[in-house]
Amino acid sequence: MNRNRVSRKLYGAIRLFRVWNLQSCSLRSLVVAFDWMPDVNVSFARVSTSGGRLSDKGFYGFKSYGTLLESDRPYNHSQIAGTILCWGKVVVAERGARCQKAKVESLIVPNDEIDLAVKAFPVAEKYHARVISEETAHQLVGGLVPYQFEDVT
């Protein structure tokens, strides 16, 4: 056992909204070739700002579902939107934030996208997430939300 590792319960996470490529039963980042893991995803790159700009390291998400829709227009046949819970080092920007650690919280399916819903449920099960409607997504509050999880550092 590594005695340098510390396990502690953390309370609170930052909820952000993002889009993934939906590949088979997996979620893949749009910009970087990264397959999301079912539990905690960790970026070992430095999350920071450089000259006032947010770095491209870590996991990015938008502050609200509306902000995401204004930027990325999800829901082509190979993409799905959802929420992530973030913690660790976090850099906040105007439209969202970039974080060091993230976990998939939910997948968002528009009410009229039956085919996407059929694909979303097995993916949600794999990622221990839930499937929610667009209506619910618009009601979700981004930012700090209560959440309890184990973090091993």
Quick check: is 36 in a domain? yes
Torsion of CA 84, 90, 91, 96, to 10 degrees: 20
Q: What is the pTM of this model?
A: 0.82
Number of domains observed in the structure of the chain: 1
Q: Which of 37, 15, 25, 35 is nearest to 84 (CA)?
A: 15
Q: Which pLDDT does position 145 carry in this prediction?
A: 82
Q: Domain range for residue 29?
A: 17-141
Average pLDDT over residues 76-82: 86
Q: What is the pLDDT of residue 73?
A: 62
Tell me the per-residue pLDDT of 25-75, one tens digit each, with 9 for 90 and over: 999 998 888 899 998 888 876 545 555 554 557 899 999 999 999 986 656
pLDDT in the model for residue 92: 86
Question: Residue 101 above 50 pLDDT?
Answer: yes
pLDDT band at 1 (very low <50, low <70, confident <90, very high): very low
Of 150 and 87, the one with more pLDDT: 87
Residue 60 falls within a domain, yes or no? yes
Which pair of structure tokens corresponds to residue 14?
A: 């930052």
Assigned domain for 117 exists:
yes
Residue 124 lies in a domain: yes
- Residue 8: pLDDT band with limits 50, 70, 90: low
| Residue 102 pLDDT > 70 | yes
Q: Which residue has the higher pLDDT, 63 or 12?
A: 63
How does pLDDT run across 104-137, given as a tens digit for each residue? Answer: 999 999 888 888 899 999 999 999 999 999 999 9
Amino acid code (one letter) for 109:
V
Does residue 54 lie in a domain region? yes
| Secondary structure (3-state) at 43 | coil
pLDDT at 2: 47
